[in-house]
A and B are shown apart, each in its own frame.
Chain A
Amino acid sequence: MKSGSNLEKVIASGQPAVTAELGPPMSADAHEVIEKAHKLKGFCDAANITDCQTAVVRISSIAAAFIAQREGLEPVMQMTCRDRNRIAIQADLLGAAALGLKNCLCIAGDHQKFSSAGRLKGHPGAKNVYDVDTTQLVGIMKKMRDEGLQEGGDKLEVAPKYFIGASWTPMGDPMDFRPYNLKKKVDAGADFIQTQGIYDVEIFKSQMEKARNLGLHERTAILGGIIVPRSAMMLKYMDSSVAGVTVPKALIDRMNKAKEAAGDDKKKARELQEAEGLKITVELIHQILEIPGIKGVHIQAIEWESAMEGIVKAAGLYPRPQV
C-alpha cells in the first residue's frame, strides 16, 4: 500500500471503485461541508473536495477535506497549480498529510478569468501561479512519497504518503494526443485517474482502447467520470459550453421528452427530468464499468449530493466494500 487510503484499498481489492464530489461553500461556515459529507458518506469510497473550482473563492480543499474526514467521509483533496508555487504546494502537502489526508488529485485548475463562467464576479484580475503543471505536480508528490525528497532535493524526515491522482479529459482537443497526455501523468506517477464527464460512451471506448494499447490501464486505476444530468438545459449547456464534453443528441432528446411530458407543470417537469437524469446516470455507470481497463466511476452530482444514495443503489454498487 502506498497510502493505505480506503480508495486505494477498494481499488486494490479489484472491486469497482466509486468516488463522488463535494464542493465547499463560499462561506466560513463548516455546516454545509458537514451536511454534504453526511449525504455522501456510505455511498462512495471517497469524495473529491474541489479546490476553488471555476476560480471562485471557497473553503479551501484541505480544510474542507479535514472536516469531511472528521465526519467519516474519506476525502480526495484536490490541488490546483493555479494558486500555489512549488513551495506552497509542498508545504500544503506536508500539512495535509500531517492532518491525516491520504488522497490527492492534481489538476491545472480553471483559469482565474473563468470566474464561474461569468455567473459570479470571481477574481479575473488575480495573478496566477502555474509554477508547475499537473504532470510535474504528480512527479513532485511521488518524489516526496517514494524518495523522501523535496522537489529541490532537500530531505524530508517523514515523507507524506499519498495515493496520487490526476484528471484526464479523454475527449478534449486535440483528441489523438489525449492518450499521451494520460501516459505522461502515469509515467510521472499517477496512481489513479478521474476522467472528465462522459456522455458519449462510444468515443470514450475508442480513447480507452488507445490507453490500453499503451498499457496504461495496468499502471493506473482509471475511474470514468459521470456528471449527473438534471435537466435538458444542463445537458445542452454541457454539450455546447463545457470543454471536452460532448452529449449525444439521443440523450438530450430523452431529457426533452421527459420535460415535455409534464406539460406546463414546472414542478413536475423538474421531477420528470431529474428521474430521467438518474436513469441516464445508472445506464452510463453500467456502460462505463463494462469497458475493459476501467476500475471504477467518479460520479459528480453537483449541488445534488442527496442523489448519490439512489444512484449507487440503483446501479448495484451498494453497499460499498469494507476493506
Chain B
Amino acid sequence: MIVGKQKPFEEIWDMVKGFKKIFVYGCNTCVAISHAGGAKEAEILASMLRMKAAQEKLEMQVDNAAIERHCEPEFFEPLMEKVRTYDLVLSTACGVGVNFLSERIGDIPVYPGVNTTFYGAVPKAGYFVELCGGCGNCVLHMTGGICPVVRCSKSLMNGPCGGTDKGKCEVSKEVDCAWYLIVERMKRLGRIEELYAIQPPRDWSAGTHGGPRRLVYEHIMDLEEEKKPKAGGSAQ
C-alpha cells in the first residue's frame, strides 16, 4: 500500500491561512492505515485548523469528510458539488489523490496535507517499512524476494558495497543491508550460485526515468465503450 505521513501542522497552516472556506478531504484506504489521512485524521486536522484560526482571530470555515478512495472517479461523484463550494481543498489523500482531484474539480486549488512517503507494509502496528520502489522492472525472482532497487541505499545490482557493517547499511545502523539479507536468503534457498552471474546495466526507462508512465488495456477500454448507450441508438 501507499504509506503517507501528515505534514507538520505549521507547514499546513502556512499553506492554508489565507483561505476563508476550507474542506479537509480524507481518503479511507492506504493513508488511513498509515494514520495520515483517513476520516479520523481529516477530522482532527480540521479541528486543529479551527482552533488555530480562533487563536489567530481569523475568520475561517473548516469542514471535513472522507471518501473510500481518491484514485477512482466514482468515489468522488456524490460529494463533488459540495466540495466545489469551498475556496480550498486540503487533501489528506496521497499525492495520487491530490493530482486526480485537481484534474477534476475545476478552478479550485487542492493542497496536500500529507507527504506521500513510500510503498510499504505494516509488519506490526505503528511500524511501516518500504519494500518496493515501483521501478517497473521487477527482479525479485533473482534476489530472494528482497528488493535491491529500493532496499539497497545505492540500488546495487551485483552484490554488497564496502559499506556493509555487521549486516547494516552505511547510511544508518538502523537500516539492514539489503545485500546481506539477499545473500543469506539465497543461501537458505540453495540458490546462492544465481548471484554469481553479472547483472548488466538496467533499463531504468520502465521507472520514472522514462517520463510519466501510463498503462493501457485497450480491450477493457473497448468493453467499457460498448456498454455506453450509442448516440441515436438504444441502450441494450
Contacts and interface: CB of A to CB of B under 8 A. Distances in A.
Identify the interface centre among B165, B201, B204: most chain A CB within 10 Å of its CB.
B201
Contacts of A181: 158-160
Contacts of B204: 131
Given A81-B154, A108-B154, A244-B162, A139 B177 contact: no
B167 interface: yes
A151 interface: yes
Contact of B160 (A111, A114, A167, A174): A174
Interface string A27-62: 000000000000000000000000000000000000
Interface residues of B, number: 32
A96 B202 CA distance: 25
Interface string B160-192: 111111110011100001011001100000001
A173 B159 CA distance: 11
Contact of A132 (B180, B195, B201): B201
A108 B161 contact: yes
B163 A174 contact: no
Contacts, number: 106
Interface residues of A, number: 37
B156 interface: yes
B155 interface: yes
Contacts of A114: 163, 170-171
B160 A177 contact: yes
Contacts of A173: 160, 164-167, 177, 180
Nearest to B197: A184
Interface centre among B153, B162, B180, B195 (most CB of A within 10 A): B162
Interface in A141-183: 151, 167, 169, 172-174, 176-177, 180-181, 183
Contacts of A82: 154
A128 interface: yes
B157 A133 contact: yes
Contact of A130 (B155, B159, B165): B155
B196 interface: yes
Nearest to B153: A111
B78 interface: no
A188 interface: yes
B180 A243 contact: no
Given A82-B154, A173-B177, A108 B162 contact: yes
B198 A177 contact: no
Given A111-B154, A130-B155, A180 B196 contact: yes
Nearest to A240: B165
Nearest to A86: B201
B60 to A, nearest CB: 34
A260 B170 CA distance: 33
A136 interface: yes
A140 interface: yes
Q: Which of B160, B171, B180, B192 counts the most A-chain CB atoms under 10 A from its CB? A: B160
Interface in B89-134: none
A114 B154 CA distance: 12
Contacts of B166: 173
B158 A134 contact: yes
25 contacts: A107-B162, A108-B162, A110-B170, A111-B171, A113-B171, A114-B163, A114-B170, A114-B171, A135-B158, A135-B198, A139-B198, A169-B161, A173-B165, A173-B177, A174-B179, A177-B183, A180-B196, A181-B159, A184-B158, A184-B159, A184-B198, A188-B198, A196-B162, A243-B163, A244-B164
What 4 A-B pairs come out closest when comparing CB atoms? A169-B162, A243-B165, A135-B158, A108-B161
Interface of A: 81-82, 86, 107-111, 113-114, 128, 130-136, 139-140, 151, 167, 169, 172-174, 176-177, 180-181, 183-184, 187-188, 196, 243-244
Given A139-B201, A174-B180, 10 more contacts: A110-B163, A114-B163, A128-B154, A136-B198, A172-B164, A172-B165, A174-B160, A177-B160, A181-B158, A183-B196
Interface of B: 153-167, 170-172, 177, 179-180, 183-184, 192, 195-196, 198-202, 204
